[in-house]
A and B are shown apart, each in its own frame.
Chain A
Amino acid sequence: MSDDLDDLKAMMAAATPQPDAARRAENIALSEKNFDDLQGSRDDTRLTSERPRGGVFSGVRHMFDQLTSRAGLTASTALIAVGIVAFTPLGQDLLRPGDLTEALTETRFEQRAPTPEAPVMIEQTDAGQLSGQIAVEEAAPTESLADMAAPTTRTTPSIAPAAQLRSRKQVAQDGIAMGGLTAEPPMPQVLPDTETFANADASPVQVVADSPVSTFSIDVDTASYAVIRNSLTQGKIPPREAVRIEEMVNYFTYDYAAPADGNAFQPTVSVTQTPWNAHTQLVQIGLQGAVPAVADRPPLNLVFLIDTSGSMDSANKLPLLKQSFRLMLAQLRPEDEVSIVTYAGSAGQVLAPTAAGERSTILAALNNLGAGGSTAGQAGLQQAYATAAAMSKEGEVSRVILATDGDFNVGLSDPEALKDFIADKRDTGTYLSVLGFGRGNLDDATMQALAQNGNGTASYIDTLSEAQKVLVDQLTGALFPIANDVKIQVEFNPAAVSEYRLIGYETRALRREDFNNDKVDAGDIGAGHQVTALYEVTPVGSPARLNDPLRYADQDTAKSGSDELAFLRLRYKAPGEDTSQLIETPIVASDASDAGFAAAMAGFGQLLRDSDYTGTWSYGDAIALANATKGADPYGYRAEAVQLMRLAESLSRK
């Protein structure tokens, strides 16, 4: 025949048969089934954590997972006894341990054919207790048992009972084959819940005569509200320390006056009747940040620093993160640049800086992220900052967006050093925002610390709609600071106010002298951000006064005759500047108007924290007030808050 390639081609085409239709359908069905298994069993595969080979110990482990320690001891004794029998010369001949083990491994391998390799996994039993979850430590088959790593991932068990039975049987046989090699049974160990929250005791009531000045840094985070929502919708009253009232109040926007042209923000002060106490008043201080023309915003350099450690592998973490970033990507302009750095075990750049216009490249990189390994947070941060530094040009805004479930444990030798590192980078103009995902080991305290040191916000993403709010609706505000280090100081007039109490902001308290110290860091306001702070004040002469006046104190220094309740001072720095500017405005007593939605949220937060100050005021009252003050509520956020109050009411009744 001719050796011409075209002829060969034609011959080949003629020789090639049609695929057998039945086999074709069969193979496609098989493939689809494997696909479904892979999707459906993502958790399961992780759960069983059987690497196809070398699973002799893992089976034993699995069995012990299912046993109480007493049963485990009984079983292990029995296994060792059987092992002795098995290793007598007669038994050895009968059992031929090598072949048996190999045969079993082979069967198992086929059964679980297309499972991806899974890292060391932990199974969460349903018998989880209130304060902690029981998990059993597991070690990869190759690791020595003494070397068991702390578990990093939890998944809910859903193995088919048959499979479980089968593997137990297999395990027993494996155990026989292994004979006396059976290791000591791993003892069940109660793992504490590793969630930590940043909070402090509620600010106490202050006597104006003793300490007339209250100083704090603003806080535009809203993470706490999302955590609370997540807890309540799961049917649990959130832990008290998870409730940061200022973040609940700041989750919502209020009707504040917009700043005049050229001003970064505009304070609005109002005095309302306290809903939970007839004899006190609420002073509501609202700051409205200016909204710069979005059209002329400078190009953005975003470095997504994504935690892909094993603990991120559940539906409400990495998959939600991907969806969230996809939403966000649509908001970016073609001239913006995006880069992705992941950290898990080791840090690595997954996507080199890419113009936001190349959506498909970015999406492909995002889609291909998979979870596995432990968390090398510090290395990840360093690489992300290095990437951001390489991307930044004059006039552009650079920001690292850290997405994590808060597991920042590996490579973090010194939390303070990490904070300092972030603070250093902040001074070079690269900011940091933190997005929290998932529950279980949410390290809220670290997230807060990182974001506060990085001039960014910490948000908690529990649903796609929260992602919509944080990453789409508030994108501009979250990414473009308009004022840095915003501090608020309120001096109360002892002639008008006898006592006051700051609601929330416990973690943001500043010392009085720090107000004028420009070196002391404070919160930042982004474009269009709103900040609301509430004081509960007791007017002079009110029966609500908690502290008796001092007999010997000089009461005459107060500026009586003035209608000023207090004097508000604000300090802020324009972005990139080192010296602060001062805004001063008196807070004038007026006829207290009705309490608004902010008061309802503040009350709700105090109820969740079991505050001493709310008296007989109940969730029912909070619901009534919130409903009455809901207003237009175009996105339904406030209606959702009412739902949460109702849930909390039901949950608190038991």
Chain B
Amino acid sequence: MLMQTSDENLGLAAAGGDRSAFSTLLERQYDRLFRLCFRLTGSQAEAEDLTQDICAALPAKLKNYRGDAALTTWLYRVAVNAAHDRRRRQASHAKAAEGWGDWEVNRQAANAQAAQDVDWLTTAMRRLPPDLRDTLALVLDDVSHRAAGEILGVSEGTISWRISEAKKQLAQIRADEMACPVTSEESS
């Protein structure tokens, strides 16, 4: 950690076109970014794809980085927005795919099956409403409530409320499963 350039300075240098700064920054942040993507999506494959989306768009996005927020905060905001976009795209895609016949239906079923392999927590998290899931994903990644509020554009109090709400819902999901041990896709 000695003499390490701060993320913010790297970000600013990269925004100004410094390639080595960009590479260093990406190396440094990739794993953290992936971790967050995993928590936001709940599946490794999805997370890899989301990370790819973010990586592809990052250079252009970085041009707008002004150094007024901590770089990780800024990066998380980019990631959360990218996750939103992805969900929206998937939603409209799913809608469009309705009525496309067995081929698409089977493919979606296969996807859903793959997702079941992930352990209980991520599965449960996938059932949370998106805003609770995003909030929990951030806070579980050691982001402070204040920073999470900054990233999601809500107040610190809302974050605290969402966390307690998320915990309540997780407990509920858990309780439901104890009562009815077969993992059911339709409980929400």
Q: Is the CB of B39 within 8 A of A115?
A: no
B residues in contact with A16, CB < 8 Å: 35, 38-39
A5-B139, A12-B140, A116-B63 known; A20 vs B44 contact (CB < 8 Å):
yes
**Interface residue stretch chosen among B51-59, B98-106, B151-159:** B51-59
**Interface residue stretch chosen among A35-43, A235-243, A473-481, A544-552:** A35-43
A residues in contact with B185, CB < 8 Å: none
Number of interface residues of B (CB under 8 A): 49
Q: Is the CB of A3 within 8 A of B52?
A: no
A15-B118, A19-B30, A368-B15 known; A38 vs B60 contact (CB < 8 Å):
yes
Q: Is the CB of A35 within 8 A of B14?
A: yes
- B57, closest chain A residue (CB): A114
- B9, closest chain A residue (CB): A360
How many Å lie between the Cα of A32 and that of B65 in the bound state? 17
Q: Is the CB of B19 within 8 A of A35?
A: yes
A residues in contact with B67, CB < 8 Å: 360, 364, 367-368
CB proximity of B4 to chain A, nearest CB, Å = 16
Q: Does A90 count as interface, using CB distance less than 8 angstroms?
A: no
CB proximity of A10 to chain B, nearest CB, Å = 10
A residues in contact with B142, CB < 8 Å: 9
Give residues 26-54 of A contacting B (CB, 8 Å): 26-28, 30-32, 34-39
Q: Mark B30-71, 1 if CB is under 8 A from A, else 0.
A: 110011001100001001100110011111100111111000
Q: Which of A3, A27, A35 contacts B51 (CB 8 A)?
A: A27
A32-B22, A34-B56, A363-B12 known; A370 vs B63 contact (CB < 8 Å):
yes
CB proximity of A152 to chain B, nearest CB, Å = 21
Q: Does B119 count as interface, using CB distance less than 8 angstroms?
A: yes
Q: Does B186 count as interface, using CB distance less than 8 angstroms?
A: no
Interface of A is mostly: helix
CB proximity of B141 to chain A, nearest CB, Å = 8
Q: Is the CB of A34 within 8 A of B58?
A: yes
CB proximity of B17 to chain A, nearest CB, Å = 5
CB proximity of B104 to chain A, nearest CB, Å = 19
- A2, closest chain B residue (CB): B171
B residues in contact with A367, CB < 8 Å: 12, 15-16, 67
Q: Which of A15, A114, A116, A360 contacts B121 (CB 8 A)?
A: A15
A residues in contact with B65, CB < 8 Å: 368
A3-B171, A367-B15, A368-B15 known; A31 vs B31 contact (CB < 8 Å):
no
Q: Does A632 count as interface, using CB distance less than 8 angstroms?
A: no
A20-B48, A370-B63 known; A32 vs B56 contact (CB < 8 Å):
no
Q: Is the CB of B119 within 8 A of A15?
A: yes
Q: Which of A15, A20, A38, A368 contacts B66 (CB 8 A)?
A: A368
Q: Is the CB of A27 within 8 A of B52?
A: yes
Q: Which of B48, B59, B122, B171 contacts A31 (CB 8 A)?
A: B59
Q: Which of B38, B60, B174 contacts A116 (CB 8 A)?
A: B60
CB proximity of B27 to chain A, nearest CB, Å = 7
Q: Does B90 count as interface, using CB distance less than 8 angstroms?
A: no
Q: Is the CB of A115 within 8 A of B60?
A: yes
CB proximity of B47 to chain A, nearest CB, Å = 8
CB proximity of B109 to chain A, nearest CB, Å = 23
Q: Mark B154-182, 1 if CB is under 8 A from A, else 0.
A: 00000000010001101100100000000
How many Å lie between the Cα of A11 and that of B38 in the bound state? 13
CB proximity of B90 to chain A, nearest CB, Å = 17
B residues in contact with A1, CB < 8 Å: 120, 170-171, 174
Q: Is the CB of A3 within 8 A of B12?
A: no
A8-B121, A15-B122, A23-B52 known; A3 vs B44 contact (CB < 8 Å):
no
Q: Does B23 count as interface, using CB distance less than 8 angstroms?
A: yes
B residues in contact with A37, CB < 8 Å: 59
Q: Does B115 count as interface, using CB distance less than 8 angstroms?
A: no
Q: Does B78 count as interface, using CB distance less than 8 angstroms?
A: no
Q: Is the CB of B34 within 8 A of A31?
A: no
How many Å lie between the Cα of A23 and that of B33 in the bound state? 13
Q: Does A113 count as interface, using CB distance less than 8 angstroms?
A: yes
CB proximity of B162 to chain A, nearest CB, Å = 12
- A367, closest chain B residue (CB): B16
A residues in contact with B168, CB < 8 Å: 3
How many Å lie between the Cα of A31 and that of B15 in the bound state? 13
A residues in contact with B39, CB < 8 Å: 12, 16
Q: Which of A5, A26, A28, A368 contacts B27 (CB 8 A)?
A: A28
- A28, closest chain B residue (CB): B26
* 14 pairs, A vs B, C-beta closer than 8 Å: A3-B167, A5-B140, A8-B121, A11-B121, A12-B121, A12-B140, A18-B31, A19-B47, A23-B52, A28-B30, A30-B56, A32-B23, A35-B22, A35-B58
Which residues on A are within 8 Å of B, measured CB to CB? 1, 3, 5, 8-9, 11-12, 15-20, 23-24, 26-28, 30-32, 34-39, 113-116, 322, 360, 363-365, 367-368, 370
Additional A-B contacts beyond A1-B171, A30-B56, A32-B23 (10; CB < 8 A): A3-B171, A8-B140, A15-B121, A19-B35, A27-B56, A28-B23, A37-B59, A38-B63, A368-B65, A368-B67
